[in-house]
């Protein structure tokens, strides 16, 4: 019975190999967590030594690629037949893609990252006005246009080939112009397996970070020690919320949680804005954006040749982020493709590239500059020595509001992290299930449950591995992202080539290649063992 279920409802090679290896990693982490950290550290050192250039060049290439595509004649092509319309309103669409794409990390690093670059910049003296400006530029660089360009490459490729060309919703399908029918062979399965592991470890990084920050909030409010044990318990507990959400599906679960989370985060941001230096923050938003855009080209291709200290900083920050975003790209890309049916390529890129980046800039300025101004006035401020997970709560406690209001704000911050945790996990579970079932966008609940639980357990294992090695759990999470992102970086480069080849055969006045409600067709085709013949104009 189990064998029949696997054959009927999954892509067996992808599901079985991914599931067995993921469970094996969990057992390895439980039985020998110190060894996991040692092996991962060695792999991380190898990648940052020999493939730093690949991460830097590839991330910049992806940004240039999507901008050129946006302004090209192909921007008018719809992700669906010519008469298709979007499934979700602009607000719901933005809420889902923003919470899935940025999530926990934006809350975790909004205060801690500017402080880190301010107190220990890669170049120049620390703790100066210039260091504060550069700190915000580095933070914008890591959270701005490059991450979303990486997401767009995969999301646009999947949306185009699935909704416009009728292929299954799986990364390998976007390589059809390059591989042809071999997307259904071991080559295509390998691409999907790499996407599964990138998603699992990218999500585990985010979930582990979320557990650390919720632990810091609980510690600040109730005096508990924010130890690894507490973080693991919180990760597993919040995973339960994610399981409930993913079982309800996109409309009843993910969409509602995303909208609730967006409004709570917006309320928290407004509170910090009005309780902090409001007028200065308004001026600083424009200054930060201008400084970032003015230095974007230099930041994008900087490798600090001959400066070992700056290169170490880059490995700890930029390479970690690029690996994290690339490992997240199968998850976020597939999810935003799934919710973007009916939008044009130009609307998809503009909405996905500019709207979240603008919102992130405002968020980072309000939280980051509020903290930096306190440090500029008093270098011995408690923020200078705050841990990354506790920096947000240290800032909230220093705002000029009554203590009870600050405590309420801390509770709201914890809720925001928890909901970001849940929306990331449930969206990721849906995507991993689609990856392992051959491209069916309506997976079975049993499979969604399996992957949602496994994501939380992997995050807990990485936290335990970091603690067992005597180092910071955050380092283990960062290492996992960098290692998982490398192989999929190469896949993304081939996806760009496949998308260009597909679009070159596109006729702007093309007839509908299939009915304007393709999800049923996708479900039916994904359950067949052999994919039907593609439209004749796909190379």
The answer to whether residue 536 scores a pLDDT higher than 60 is no
Q: How confident is the model at residue 24 (pLDDT cuts 50, 70, 90)?
A: confident
**C-alpha closest to that of 242 among 68, 89, 455:** 455
CA distance linking residue 331 with residue 353, whole number of Å: 17
Tokens of 57: 């060049």
Q: What is the pLDDT of residue 149?
A: 96
CA–CA distance from 108 to each of 22, 113, 325, 422 (Å)? 26, 9, 15, 15
Burial bucket for residue 290 (CB in 10 Å: 0-12, 13-18, 19+): exposed
pLDDT digits (tens, 9 = 90+) for 208-264: 888 888 889 888 888 888 888 888 888 888 788 777 766 665 555 556 666 777 788
Within 437-515, residue ranges assigned H as helices are: 445-468, 473-504
Q: How confident is the model at residue 503 (pLDDT cuts 50, 70, 90)?
A: very high
Burial bucket for residue 2 (CB in 10 Å: 0-12, 13-18, 19+): exposed
The answer to whether residue 311 scores a pLDDT higher than 70 is yes
What is the Rg, in whole angstroms, of the alpha carbon atoms belonging to the chain? 22
CA distance linking residue 28 with residue 118, whole number of Å: 38
CA distance linking residue 314 with residue 323, whole number of Å: 12
pLDDT digits (tens, 9 = 90+) for 382-423: 999 898 889 999 999 999 899 999 999 999 999 888 877 777
Q: What is the pLDDT of residue 230?
A: 87
The answer to whether residue 472 scores a pLDDT higher than 50 is yes
Q: What is the pTM of this model?
A: 0.85
Q: What is the pLDDT of residue 2?
A: 64
CA–CA distance from 71 to each of 148, 230, 343, 349, 493 (Å)? 17, 49, 15, 10, 20
**C-alpha closest to that of 147 among 202, 190, 108, 192:** 202
Residues 6+ apart with CB under 8 A from 306: none
- How many C-beta atoms surround the C-beta of residue 89 within 10 A? 9
C-beta pairs of 181-186 under 8 Å, 24+ apart in sequence: 181/531, 183/531, 184/530, 184/531, 186/13
3-state class (DSSP) for residue 512: coil
pLDDT digits (tens, 9 = 90+) for 61-76: 999 999 999 999 999 9
pLDDT digits (tens, 9 = 90+) for 40-55: 778 888 888 888 889 9
Which is more confidently placed, 19 or 444? 19
The single residue listed with the structure tokens 């996990």 is 425
Q: How confident is the model at residue 518 (pLDDT cuts 50, 70, 90)?
A: very low
CA distance linking residue 96 with residue 427, whole number of Å: 9
33-50 vs 318-338: helix axis angle to the nearest 10?
Answer: 100
The single residue listed with the structure tokens 């990331």 is 424
Q: What share of the chain is helix, strand, coil (3-state, %, to 5)?
A: 80, 0, 20
Q: What is the pLDDT of residue 108?
A: 87
Q: Count of residues for the chain?
A: 539
Q: What is the pLDDT of residue 112?
A: 94
Percentage of residues of the chain with pLDDT beyond 70: 86
Which is more confidently placed, 500 or 457? 500
CA distance linking residue 242 with residue 127, whole number of Å: 40
Class of domain 9-506: mainly alpha
According to DSSP, residue 427 is labeled H
The answer to whether residue 292 scores a pLDDT higher than 90 is yes
CA–CA distance from 191 to each of 92, 174, 295, 435, 539 (Å)? 30, 10, 35, 10, 20
**C-alpha closest to that of 372 among 207, 127, 192, 142:** 127
The answer to whether residue 475 scores a pLDDT higher than 60 is yes
**C-alpha closest to that of 386 among 375, 377, 376:** 375
CB 394 within 8 A of CB 375: no
pLDDT digits (tens, 9 = 90+) for 331-388: 788 878 888 999 999 999 998 988 889 889 999 999 999 999 999 999 999 999 898 8
């Amino acid at each position: 019975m189990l064998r029949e279920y696997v054959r009927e409802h999954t892509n067996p090679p992808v599901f079985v190999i991914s599931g067995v290896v993921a469970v094996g990693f969990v057992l390895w982490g439980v039985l020998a967590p110190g060894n996991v950290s040692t092996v991962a550290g060695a792999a991380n050192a190898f990648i940052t030594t020999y493939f730093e250039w690949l991460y830097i060049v590839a991330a910049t290439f992806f940004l240039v690629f999507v901008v050129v595509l946006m302004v090209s004649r192909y921007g008018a092509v719809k992700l669906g037949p010519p008469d298709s319309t979007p499934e979700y309103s602009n607000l719901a669409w933005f809420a889902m893609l923003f919470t899935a794409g940025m999530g926990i990390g934006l809350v975790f690093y909004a205060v801690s990252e500017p402080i880190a670059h301010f107190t220990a910049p890669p170049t120049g003296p620390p703790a100066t006005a210039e260091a504060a400006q550069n700190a915000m530029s580095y933070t914008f660089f890591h959270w701005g246009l490059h991450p979303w360009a990486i997401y767009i490459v995969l999301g646009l490729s999947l949306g185009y080939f699935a909704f416009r060309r009728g292929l299954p919703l799986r990364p390998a399908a976007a390589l059809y112009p390059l591989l042809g029918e071999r997307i259904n062979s071991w080559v295509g399965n390998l691409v999907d397996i790499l996407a599964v592991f990138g998603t699992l470890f990218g999500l585990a990084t985010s979930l582990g970070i979320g557990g650390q920050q919720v632990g810091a909030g609980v510690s600040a409010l109730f005096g508990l020690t924010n130890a690894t044990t507490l973080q693991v318990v919180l990760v597993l507990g919040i995973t339960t919320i994610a399981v409930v959400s993913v079982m309800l599906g996109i409309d009843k679960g993910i969409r509602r949680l995303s909208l609730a989370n967006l409004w709570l985060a917006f309320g928290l941001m407004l509170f910090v804005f009005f309780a902090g230096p409001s007028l200065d923050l308004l001026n600083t938003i424009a200054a930060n954006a201008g400084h970032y855009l003015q230095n974007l080209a230099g930041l994008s291709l900087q490798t600090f040749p001959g400066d070992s200290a700056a290169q170490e900083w880059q490995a700890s920050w930029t390479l970690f982020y690029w690996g994290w975003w690339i490992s997240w790209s199968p998850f976020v890309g597939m999810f935003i493709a799934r919710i973007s049916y009916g939008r044009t390529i130009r609307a998809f890129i503009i909405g996905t590239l500019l709207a979240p980046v603008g919102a992130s800039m405002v968020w980072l300025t309000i939280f980051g500059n509020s903290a930096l101004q306190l440090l500029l006035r008093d270098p011995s401020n408690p923020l200078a020595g705050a841990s990354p997970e506790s920096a947000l709560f240290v800032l909230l406690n220093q705002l000029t509001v009554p203590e009870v209001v600050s405590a309420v704000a801390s509770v709201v911050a914890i809720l925001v992290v928890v909901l970001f945790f849940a929306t990331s996990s449930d969206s990721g579970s849906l995507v991993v299930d689609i990856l392992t079932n051959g491209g069916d966008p309506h997976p079975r609940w049993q499979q969604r449950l399996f992957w949602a639980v496994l994501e939380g357990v992997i995050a807990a294992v990485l936290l335990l591995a970091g603690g067992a090695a005597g180092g910071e759990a955050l380092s283990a999470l960062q290492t996992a992202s960098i290692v998982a992102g490398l192989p999929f970086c190469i896949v993304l480069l081939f996806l760009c080539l496949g998308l260009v080849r597909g679009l070159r055969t596109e006729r702007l006045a093309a007839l509908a290649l299939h009915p304007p409600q393709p999800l049923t067709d996708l479900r039916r085709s994904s359950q067949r063992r052999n994919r039907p013949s593609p439209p004749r104009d796909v190379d």
